[in-house]
Amino acid sequence: MKKPISENEKKIHKTIEKTESKKEGRASKNQNISEINNQKIIADLKIKLKQAEDKLLRELAENENLRKRHEKESQENLKYAIRSFSSELLSVTDNFQRALISIPRENLGDNVMLKNLIIGLEAVEKEIYEIFEKNGVVRFESLEKKFNPEIHQAVSKKNSDKPEGTIIEELAKGFMIGDRLLRPAMVVVSSGKNKEEK
């Protein structure tokens, strides 16, 4: 048989229950505060993560731009690396062309050796220009075209039947390397008809 609970014992039990209830309330309050703090921490971490992701994406984009720029510069350097070498060879080709022009052409059929020499020299000249073209160095025509100071260098002006500003003589061919000017064409430009003739 159970012994009846006395008043004191009842008070003690109630006090214990109240204390435990208060402890549970405090624990619940502490748990709520802890949850709120955790949520704030999580929100802060999410913001920091987003900022880090944005920074990383910007860095990756910048690296990609640098890589593309470097690749483009490397390609251009390769493309224009032969610029000075080609420039120096152009004077050789000019002299070669002058030598060809200076050979007398009359009675060429009578002198087989001279005829073969000219054919051989013309073949060498053609091969030189083909090698230039393979490496991106291209000569351009100027004769009968309008004078353009960006690609032509006027050596003199002469009266002619051609309209003023038209190129009537080409003393040295102009050359481009890729889309850049390697050497301007040396030209004689028409100054129109003589005023006295008009």
The amino acid present at 85, given as its one-letter code, is: F
DSSP 153-198: EEEEEE--SSPTTBEEEEEE-EEEETTEEEEPEEEEEE--S-TTT-
Tens digits of per-residue pLDDT, 149-174? 999 999 999 988 888 899 999 988 89
- Annotated domain spans of the chain: 8-80, 82-190
- DSSP secondary-structure letter at 145? S
Of 158 and 198, more confident: 158
Mean pLDDT of the chain: 83
Cβ 185 vs Cβ 147: under 8 Å: no
Report the share of the chain in percent with pLDDT over 70: 83
Average pLDDT over residues 173-195: 87
pTM of structure: 0.57
pLDDT tier, 48 (very low <50, low <70, confident <90, very high otherwise): very high
Tens digits of per-residue pLDDT, 52-107? 999 999 999 999 999 999 998 888 777 777 788 888 888 888 888 888 888 877 77
Question: In this predicted structure, what is the pLDDT of residue 100?
Answer: 85
Provide CATH code, domain 82-190: 2.30.22.10
Question: In this predicted structure, what is the pLDDT of residue 198?
Answer: 45
CA 122 from centroid of its chain's CA atoms: 38
- DSSP secondary-structure letter at 117? H
Cβ 96 vs Cβ 127: under 8 Å: no
The amino acid present at 34, given as its one-letter code, is: S
Cβ 125 vs Cβ 98: under 8 Å: no
DSSP 56-82: HHHHHHHHHHHHHHHHHHHHHHHHHTT
Tens digits of per-residue pLDDT, 131-143? 999 988 999 999 9
